[in-house]
A and B are shown apart, each in its own frame.
Chain A
Amino acid sequence: MSTTPDAVIQLDNLSVTLGSRLILNQLQVELKGRTIGLLGPNGAGKSTLINTLLGFYAPSCGTARVFGYDVNKDTRHVRSLIGYMPENDSFIADMNAVTFIRMMGELSGLPPETALERAHECLFYVGLGEARYRKLGTYSLGMKQLAKLAQAIVHGPKLVILDEPTNGLDPPARRRMLKMIREMRDNAGMRIVLCSHLLRDVEDTCEEVIILKGGSIVHYADLEAERRANKRFVELETVGDDEGFAAAMESLGATCAMAGKGRWKMVLPAEFSFRDLFKVASEKDLELRRLNYRKDTLEDIFLKAMNQ
């Protein structure tokens, strides 16, 4: 596979073996989205893929590239481009947040004064400004998540890998975390890899999604392209003589499929007005019992992928 300039992550027949176990099996994908979702059940290989991208595990065959740099050969450079927020607690409990994040900034190459300034900035940004001099060991679970995010972004990385960022957060904190992820993507121009079990979080924030199962990619979805296509899926339930109803709807540009007696599934064009649907039903003297506006959610996609 040749390197594509705008690709964030390129996996070319990537396999990873740990001990004698094959964990990732010939992954082949090119991801260009600003936010990339990583989904899969437990043991699917998500964490191994993240660890491989960080250069923690060496591929047994194939290559993984981040912004065109081979993670195995240009490990140091790749790491300088990445910020990593691990899933589990990963900091020194008896250090205060400012000192810890400053130290991490300096280890990433920031000069001491800049690291201190950015540590304060990042802690205010994630909402820990008032608690920044408290020891990390005294933080609640939600605060620890925010501190982990702050250390991941202190050096201004181009790509941030977030492993279960909303774990242990209450609903308002979860919304705030997702808002920050979107802000980092839109305002700071960061690329984000989001690994989460919460499909709603991925659906809310991601443009591209890969679903892993048993170490292989079982599905790739370009959510942004689907959103752009703006397809409108409708489920309809009618009572009465529906002869000619499908033909009338198709003449307006809809695609119809009968899903049982009086039940229809339709894909409506973008410019379609629901007023026309009611008009056709009225002309055909049809009673509309139910109208459901829905498309395949990420959950549907995920469940289908799991059944493959």
Chain B
Amino acid sequence: MAVYKRTYTTYAGPLTPPRTRFLVLPRYCYERLFQSRFLTGFLVACFFFPLGCAGYIYLVNNLSVFTSMGVPAPEFLKIDSSFFRFLMNFQGAMAYILTALIGPSLIAPDLANNALPTYFSRPFSRTEYVIGKVSVLFILLSIITWVPGVLLFILQVSQAGGDWLSNNWFILRAVVLGQVAWILLLSLLSVALSAWVKWKVVAGALILGVFGIGAGLAGIINSILRTDYGAMIDLSRIMYTIWSDQLNIETSTGLEPFEAWLSFIAVCVICLLMLERKIRPKEIVR
């Protein structure tokens, strides 16, 4: 019978498993996000650099091209930790811009439209809601950060062989762990800020500004107090220290790796507390 001819009936059919229901949110978010051509174009552009890197890896492992042309193979061409740190920096920056574009439209519209009571009057918890919203960014940013990193690592292993793998296996751990930590930080920051600022434009500016503000404040603290601990509120320096540590590269960020991890955990906890305070079906006016 045609839908418009039917009358209302109750539902007694099968239900989806409760544990996978948070995935409904990313699906609908992507449907809305990819209506924007600019965003789709930007996402495609995020793959250009890894593609270039793939070509570079092939070239470095096939230097016979140079000798066949009668040119001596340049010695600086090598694939090591520094190469992967550069890749992580570049893709990390792209992830940061993508977060500023997508992040504000995740929670702010739900709050602005007072939609939370409608979500939470269903068998759907606040935790599932936050996980659903965070996973929108987590999935998308994974595709442009650690997934290409892992594929490039596999390509390098396939080209360079087992010796290279036995000497550089820690790079794989660094790419996955470092980028996942970065994604987690970006996702939590953006959903927490978009939960506190209902206006999308302001939320976007805040996501972009929080890194600059942190770096500025860190510089002021360091110069006034003549210390390096100010770097603990500089988010980009925190992540750079973590990545460098994972890739076994010496850096002079003024932070020890454990201090960087401590700051990272503190920022994540603050974001979760912000979300806990704001993501409620009804706000209690005291």
Residues on A lying within 8 angstroms of B by beta carbon are 18-20, 51, 54, 56-57, 76-77, 79-80, 82-84, 86, 88-95, 99, 103-104, 106-111, 114, 117-118, 120-122, 124-125, 129, 151, 153, 155-156, 158, 183-184, 187-190
Contacts and interface: CB of A to CB of B under 8 A. Distances in A.
B41 interface: no
B28 interface: yes
A189 B10 contact: yes
Given A82-B121, A86-B118, A121-B6, 9 more contacts: A51-B282, A77-B123, A80-B122, A86-B117, A92-B109, A94-B32, A103-B28, A108-B123, A110-B13
11 contacts: A54-B120, A92-B109, A92-B115, A103-B28, A110-B11, A121-B3, A125-B6, A151-B118, A153-B8, A156-B12, A187-B7
Nearest to A158: B10
For A54, A108, A122, A156, the residue with the greatest tally of chain B CB atoms inside 10 Å of its CB is A108
A188 B9 contact: yes
B282 A56 contact: yes
A89 B114 contact: yes
Contact of B114 (A80, A88, A151): A88
A20 B13 contact: no
A90 B150 CA distance: 43
Given A18-B284, A156-B10, A188-B9, A90 B28 contact: no
Nearest to B22: A107
Contact of A104 (B8, B110, B122, B125): B122
Q: How large is the interface on B (under 10, 10 to 19, 20 to 34, 35 or more residues)?
A: 35 or more
A193 B280 CA distance: 23
A110 B16 contact: yes
Nearest to A84: B121
B281 interface: yes
Nearest to B28: A103
Contacts of B109: 92-94
Given A56-B120, A151-B118, A156 B9 contact: yes
Interface string B95-136: 000000000000001100111111111111100000000000
A91 B3 contact: no
A183 B9 CA distance: 11
B86 interface: no
Contacts of A103: 24, 28
A95 B12 CA distance: 28
A211 B91 CA distance: 61
A117 to B, nearest CB: 7
A91 B113 contact: yes
A88 B116 CA distance: 12
A88 to B, nearest CB: 6
Interface string B1-38: 00110111111111110100100100010011000000
Contacts of B28: 99, 103
A124 B125 contact: no
Given A120-B3, A184-B8, A79 B284 contact: no
Contacts of B121: 54, 79, 82-84, 86
Contact of A106 (B10, B18, B21, B118): B21
Nearest to A124: B4
Contacts of A111: 13-16
B286 A20 contact: yes
A187 B6 CA distance: 13
A40 B3 CA distance: 39
Given A20-B286, A120-B3, A109 B16 contact: yes
A99 B284 CA distance: 30
A188 B124 contact: no
A110 B18 CA distance: 10
A76 B21 contact: no
B124 A114 contact: no
A193 to B, nearest CB: 13
B135 to A, nearest CB: 14
Given A94-B109, A187-B8, A54 B15 contact: no
B204 to A, nearest CB: 17
A84 B118 contact: yes
B114 to A, nearest CB: 5
A124 B123 contact: no
Contacts of B122: 79-80, 104, 107-108, 155
A158 B24 CA distance: 23
A183 B8 contact: yes
Contacts of B117: 54, 56, 84, 86, 90
